[in-house]
Amino acid sequence: MKTAEDYLSGHVLLIDKPLHWTSFQVVNKLRWEIRRAFDIKKIKVGHAGTLDPLATGLLVICTGKMTKQIDTFQGQAKEYTGTFVLGSSTPSYDLESEIDQTYPTSHITEDLIKSTTSQFVGDIHQFPPVFSALKKDGKRLYEFARAGEEVDIPSRLVNISEFEITAIDGLNVNFRVVCSKGTYIRSLANDFGKALNSGAHLSALRRTKIGDFNVEDALTPEEFIKSLPSE
């Protein structure tokens, strides 16, 4: 069992983030529980890469002196699995907002879906979603979006090294993606729909890997808390 000194000197925790939790909530919960379990007044805790509330999967949490490694972990390649829904789009590119447009899908075949992935492999320019936590002029982009304000967002260069369609069930397309830091899978969903001369949005997302870290080795917040010393 880990000691207070282990967490203070630096430890890496692999956490499987539940649906609807923010990454910030996970960090706050774990920090509070570690302080409670070991009667520590203060300890640094941070995560190496945000997951949206509607995503699940791997969060790399660093404590103590290991927080200095967060930038290193953030820069490593990430793997995601999830589902695109074809034929409709949302302003947030996922289910955070309601469907606002629908598109024809009768021309879309399984072969077209699979061949279109090649357009998104390698270095690509991508526009981040307006519903994101990126900052412009000191404000989060989602603040502009929720206020109905138009904002110019520059595209960014990202890298997608693998993009695989794993299953197709009607308009639901399951995928696996390996990508660089800064890639938005929501934007990939939106762009993929456009490339099919239709539309698409993200309905499910799970982060499975960051570098050599795998979600299969991760604990849920509840499991981690149970592993701590109790009073």
Q: How far apart are CA 225 and CA 231, in angstroms?
A: 12
pTM metric for this prediction? 0.92
For position 140, what pLDDT does the model report?
A: 64
Please check whether the two domains, 4-75+213-227 and 78-210, share a CATH topology.
yes
Catalytic residue among 16, 52, 94, 191: 52
**Residue linked to tokens 């203070």:** 8
Locate 44 and state its tokens: 């640094």
Pairing of strands 200-210, 122-126: unpaired
**Closest to 133 in 3D by CA, of 125, 124, 143:** 143
Locate 163 and state its tokens: 């993009």
Q: How far apart are CA 62 and CA 36, in angstroms?
A: 17
Alpha helices (H) in the chain, listed in sequence order: 4-9, 23-38, 70-74, 110-116, 141-146, 185-195, 221-227
What is the mean pLDDT of the segment spanning 92-117?
A: 96
- Which CATH code is given to the segment(s) 78-210? 3.30.2350.10
Q: For the chain, give me the number of helices (H) and strands (E)?
A: 7, 13
Give yes or no: 212 in active site: no
For position 171, what pLDDT does the model report?
A: 98
For position 230, what pLDDT does the model report?
A: 80
For position 1, what pLDDT does the model report?
A: 80
How confident is residue 78, by pLDDT bands cut at 50, 70 and 90? very high
In this structure, what are the phi and psi dihedrals at residue 13, rounded to the nearest 5 degrees?
Answer: -110, 135
What is the mean pLDDT of the segment spanning 5-17?
A: 95
What is the mean pLDDT of the segment spanning 29-47?
A: 96
Average per-residue pLDDT for the chain:
92
Contact 151, 140 (CB under 8 A): no
Q: Note the pLDDT tens digit of each residue in 145-180.
A: 566 667 677 789 999 999 999 999 999 999 999 999
Sequence spans of domains, the chain:
4-75+213-227, 78-210
**Residue linked to tokens 């603040």:** 143
- The pLDDT of residue 34 is above 70: yes
- The pLDDT of residue 130 is above 80: no
For position 134, what pLDDT does the model report?
A: 62
Please state which CATH class domain 4-75+213-227 belongs to: alpha beta
For position 21, what pLDDT does the model report?
A: 96
- The pLDDT of residue 65 is above 90: yes
Q: Note the pLDDT tens digit of each residue in 203-224.
A: 999 999 999 999 999 999 999 9
For position 83, what pLDDT does the model report?
A: 98
